[in-house]
Amino acid sequence: MSEAYAVDVDNVVKSFGTMRALDGVTLRVRQGEIYGLLGPNGSGKTTLIRAIVGLVAPDSGTVTALGHRIPDLNILSSVGYMTQAAALYPDISVEENLRFFAAISGADSNVDEVLKVVELEQRRKSVVATLSGGMRQRCSLACALVHRPRLLLLDEPTVGVDPQLRVQFWEHFRDMAAAGTTILVSSHVMDEAERCQRLGLIRFGKLLGEGTPNEVRAAAGTNNLEEAFLKLSGRAGE
């Protein structure tokens, strides 16, 4: 049954000291779906993503990814994880970074293909430290894609990426989803939210609402997703 969901987070609670980062989150992402996780800074998006890769151990509740109870090292070769800040080795080249992340995932790599996707073919021999912030972000995304993951977790992937390339990224995400890759992406950019098949609104470590962009708008009684988001997350504060 659980195989139907690529990600199955069940009533997960996680506290750091007195701060409750996740307060009973239940969330299911279907195979091949693009799921957008929306929420303000500090709402628990990153903690939730880290719990899905097994970097955060829940205090209670369970996480299942690709049919395996997390933590499970073996499924990580099928998971691509892009951290919020571009986590790369600054003193080696773009290509060396890609080959490294491909090698540790143990999957067959498609270095040339991902370089094309992020438009860094010309800079493949450049040392990462010499790249601009946007280029680093693109290189970081490439490192998350290089081993052809079946589940892709992206923590605010398009920060610092120009609008033109952002559109390209999303086209690529759609192609990947169509080919069966599940994508969970956190964002607070609303035009990105519009491109997701389903959205989850997260605040104070709780999932406040879920649905397609249209459903979210309808639930809030507005035509504007940004307004809907503010309205829905505001309601929880009352």
55 binds other proteins (CB under 8 A): yes
77 binds other proteins (CB under 8 A): yes
* Closest CB 99 distance from other proteins, rounded Å: 8
Distances (CA, A) of 11 to 32, 63, 232: 23, 9, 21
54 binds other proteins (CB under 8 A): yes
The residue range among 84-92, 111-119, 175-183, 216-224 that interacts with other proteins, by the rule CB under 8 A, is 84-92
Judged by CB under 8 A, the residue of 5, 35, 101, 229 near other proteins is 101
Of residues 184, 176, 177, the one with CA closest to residue 52? 184
Dihedrals phi, psi of 183, to nearest 5 degrees: -125, 125
Q: Are 199 and 175 in contact (CB under 8 A)?
A: no
Q: Among positive and negative, which fits the CA dihedral 9, 45, 131, 114?
A: positive
Q: Within positions 130 to 189, which residues make up the interface with other proteins, using CB under 8 A?
A: 143
64 binds other proteins (CB under 8 A): no
Residue number with CB closer to other proteins (29 or 228): 29
Q: Cα separation of 147 and 143, whole Å?
A: 8
* Closest CB 196 distance from other proteins, rounded Å: 22
103 binds other proteins (CB under 8 A): yes
Cα pseudo-dihedral 175, 202, 224, 167, rounded to 10: -30
Residue type, 82: M
Q: Which residue ranges make up the site for other proteins (CB under 8 A)?
A: 14, 16, 50, 53-57, 71, 73-74, 76-77, 79, 81, 83, 85-93, 96, 100-101, 103-106, 127, 143
